[in-house]
Amino acid sequence: MENVLDYFKTLEQHPVQRLLFLVGGLLFFWILEGAVPLLEPHYKKNKTRHAVVNFSFTVMHLVIQTGIAVLIVLLADWCQRQNIGLVHWVHANLLMTIVLSFFVYDLFIGWMAHFALHQTFALWRFHTVHHADNNVDATTGLRHHPVESIIRGVFFLLATVVAGAPVYSLMIYQTILVFFVAFTHANISLPHKVDNALSYFFVSPNMHKVHHHWQQPYTDSNYGAVLSIWDRLFGTYRELEPSQLKYGLDRYYPNEHDENFMQLLKRPFGKMKT
C-alpha cells in the first residue's frame, strides 16, 4: 500500500506516464469496440476519420488541463499547509482521506460540473460539441470544446478546496476517472445482467449511453462519471434499452456536420436558439 501511495504522490511529476494511462485506455476500448459493438456505427467516412476529429479536441483538452493541473497541485499543497478542507476538519486517516476525497471529486467533477453544463444555456452551448457526436465511442469521452475544458477545470479547483485532499488522492481519482471516461463511452456490449449490476455502484456503459440519447429528458439524465450514487440520489437516473438509443442532438447543431471540426469549434460562439 505504501508503494502505491508513493507512486501516486509523484505521479503529477510524470506527465508522460499519465498520458500513457489515457492513450492506453482509449486504444484498448477503441479496439475492443470492433469485437463486441453495442450499436452499428454510421461514420461519415470511417472509424479512423471519426477518431481524428475527436482526438483533435482531446489534444486541446489535455493542453488546457495540464495548465490547470499545475494550479490544482499548488492549491492542494496550500490546503495541506493551511489545514483547509473536509479531510482536515474530520481528522481523516489515510483510508478515509482517499475515500472522502474520491467522493468529493466525483460529486463536483463527475456530477455537478456536468449538471451545470446542461442546465445553464451559456455553458450548454459549449457542451453541445460533446453531444453532437452521432457515433459515441471511446474517443467521444474527451471530445470537449476548449471553453468546456476550462469550466471543468474550475470545478476541479473547487473540489480541491472542499476536499482539502493531498495530491495523491487527486491522482488516484483522476487515474480512475480516465479509465471510466473511456469505458462508459466505448461502443461495447456487456451482458445485460453485468451492466445492470455494475450500474448500482458505478456508471456503466449502458447507463451513460442513455445520457447521449438525442432527446430530452434522457439527455438531461445520468450525469455521473464514476459513481452512480449521485444520479440515484438527486433523481436524475434514467434507463433506456440500447436498441432504442439514437445519438446526437434534436436541435442546436446539425447532425450531418458532427465530424466537421472547424464548425464544431466555432458553432458555440454563434447564434443558438434555446
Specify the pLDDT at position 254. 83
What would the pLDDT profile of 207-242 be if each residue is shown by its tens digit? 999 999 999 889 999 999 999 999 999 999 999 999
Specify the pLDDT at position 14. 60
Comparing C-alpha atoms, which of 158, 148, 6, 10 is closest to residue 71?
158
CB proximity list for 217: less than 8 A, separation 6 or greater: 238
Specify the pLDDT at position 19. 64
Give the global pTM. Answer: 0.91
Specify the pLDDT at position 5. 62
Extract the C-alpha cell encoding 237: 437516473
Specify the pLDDT at position 6. 58
Secondary structure (H, E, C), 173-207: HHHHHHHHHHHHHCCECCCHHHHHHHCCCECCHHH
Which positions of the chain have pLDDT values less than 70? 1-23, 273-274
Specify the pLDDT at position 7. 58
List the beta bridge partners of residue 227: 202
**Exposed, middle or buried: residue 231 (CB in 10 Å: 0-12, 13-18, 19+)?**
buried
Extract the C-alpha cell encoding 188: 461495447
